[in-house]
Every structure is written in structure tokens, then in C-alpha cells.
Amino acid sequence: MKNEKLKQQIIAYALLVLGSALFAVGDVMFVNPYHLAPGGVYGLANVFNALWGWKISLAGICMDIPLLIIGTIILGPKFGIKTIISVILIPVFTFLLESTWGYAPVIHDGPFFDAEVQSSLYFMEGETQRFFMPDFFLNTVVSGLIYGLAIGVIFRSGATSGGSDIIAMIVHKYTKISLGTLVLIVDSIISLTTLIAFEDIRLPIYSVILIFIESKIIDLVVEGVKSYKTAFIVTDKIEEVRNFIIKDLDRSGTVFSGSGLYQGAERKMLYVTLNRSDLVKLKSNLRFLDPNAFVNVIESSEIMGNGFKALPTE
């Protein structure tokens, strides 16, 4: 048991390092050169960098640490050691990339220019201002994929990236607004700063698209690609349906006894969780097993236990 826990801790911290490094790559090499601000402390740090040349790493940690301290004072010790490590690792990796790679974009349409051309963006290469022709859409998609993968991996390690989420948590404590809504509001306000700073309507729009892609990738990384459905089946042919589920689908379930609301007749109900393909087989065969069966199918975001994902050890 101790060896298993040690192994899990090693994997968790390895994921934390990987996620922090990926976040820095996405921010410095993809998001920053396009002056995007997809929410969060580092979205705001990108705006400060473009306007006044502040290093992203320095601006990020100067906002993250006070937020972490204020959040701990107001919300209590909610932030574990992994979140604190994440808050330190992200600016470290960001600083290393700023110092070696700079702020040059990976994705661009054509070579860099030494003179400004129409519809171009710029980045600083030492003391020289270099211009490039942007490919906003492709860069936004790639940025969303990298950001989502990075934050999803950090979440899988048991940490959070801190930042603007702490602001949402503090406001949530004193209002009735849901945490998800508050996170969306805070990130949207940060994205809108690009419009104010650069007077380009494309920047907040692409930032919002990036946030959307990022959120979907986070869900895939954290929850996995498997999609499960839970079926509640009310049937008079309980044995036939039961045998089909056990023998043909190789699944188990639970049988409940109940009574009809209208006539009070005793009925049996099967509760079973299946993947998509098994659900299709079940629906196809139910019309032969019991044409009068009543079936209610609902989405199951997470299934744990025998035959599915293992229960958490802690």
C-alpha cells in the first residue's frame, strides 16, 4: 500500500511539472505573440507585457502570490502544497522560455519583417521590433489545445493553477452567484482588456474561442474520452432483460422493486450503466425482449467502482 501511494505521488508531481511546462510553452510561444488574453493572471500578464514590456513571469508571480495569500486569509487553507508548487513552477518555466526563446511566434504566415506592414503584429527581439503576418485562427486552435492539455494535466495532478480562480472563489463566498459563472465573468473581463489596450475587436473574440477550446480539452484530460449512459428500465420481462445484460453485454446492474403511480401495480426496475455501444445493443434488443418496456437514459459524467474507474485511494 505504501509503495502504491508513493508511486501515485511520484506520478502526480511528474504531471504537475509537465503541466506547468506546457502552460509556459502555450503562453510564451503561442498566446503572447498574438496579444491574446484568455483569462487568468497570465492573460493579464500578456497585456502588461505587450503594453509596457514587463516580463510575463514577473507580472504573473507578482499577481499570483498576493492572490494566494489573500485567498488563504479569506477562504482558509484550501490551497494545498501542489497548488503552491504550480504557482512557482509556471513562472519559472515561463522565465526560462522568455530568456531563451523570447516572444517570437511559432505560427505565422510568411517570414518576419523589420518594417511594419499592413495587418501585422510585432514582438521584441532584443532591442529590435520584428513584425509578422498572423494566422489568428490556427494559432488560437493550437493555443487552446496546449492550454487545455496543460491545465488538465495540472488538475489531474491534484493541483490548480491559482490565479483569477481565487478572485472568483472570494466573490462567491460573499454572493449567491455560482462559482462557474464568476470564473466566466472574471475571465471575460480579462479578455476584454485586449480590446481596450490594442483597440482590435479580433483579440477578445479569439481569446473567448481559445477559452472554449481549452475548456473542452480540460474535460477530456480530466474525465477521459469514454462516455457512459445510465439506463433505468421498467419492465414486466425482468428475467429476459436481466439475462441479456449479464450474458450478452457482460454487464451487471441493480434491480429495484416499486409500484406504479397510477394503478399501484408492483413493478421491477433495472438500473444499469453502459458505454455507448452497449446502450445501442440494449435499445435494439429491448423491442424484442419487452416491447412495452419504459426506458429512461441519462448522461453519466463519471462512473467509479467495479468494472469502471477505480475509486480514489485518498
Q: Which residue has the cell 510561444?
A: 29
DSSP string, 204-259: HHHHHHHHHHHHHHHHHHHH-S--EEEEEEEES-HHHHHHIIIIIS----EEEEEE
pLDDT (average), residues 110-124: 79
pLDDT tens per residue across span 244-287: 999 988 888 999 888 877 777 888 889 998 888 888 888 888 88
Q: Contact at 8 Å (CB) between 153 and 161?
A: no
Whole-angstrom distance, CA of residue 263 vs CA of residue 296: 20
Confidence bin at 311 (pLDDT 50/70/90): low
CA within 13 Å, CB half, 124: 11
- Which strand ranges, in their side-by-side order, compose the sheet holding 294-300? 254-259, 266-275, 228-235, 294-300
Closest CA to 166 of 154, 177, 182: 182
- For the chain, how long is the longest CA-to-CA vector? 84
What's the grid cell of residue 241? 432483460
- Residue 304, helix vs strand vs coil: strand
Domains of the chain, first to last:
2-223 (no CATH), 228-300 (3.30.70.120)
Question: pLDDT band for position 310 (50/70/90)?
Answer: low
What does the angle CA 236 – CA 238 – CA 240 come to, to the nearest 5 degrees? 110
Residue closest to 91 by CA, chosen among 121, 142, 55:
55
Task: Note the pTM of the prediction, 2 decimals.
Answer: 0.79
pLDDT tens, residue by residue, 81-109: 888 999 999 999 999 999 999 999 999 99
**How much is the CA Rg of the chain, to the nearest whole Å?**
25
Query: Cell match 493555443: residue?
Result: 143
Q: Are strands 228-235 and 121-125 parallel, antiparallel or unpaired?
A: unpaired
In order, the DSSP letters of 167-180 are HHHHHHHHSSS-HH
Predicted confidence (pLDDT) per residue in 293-307, tens digit: 989 998 876 777 766
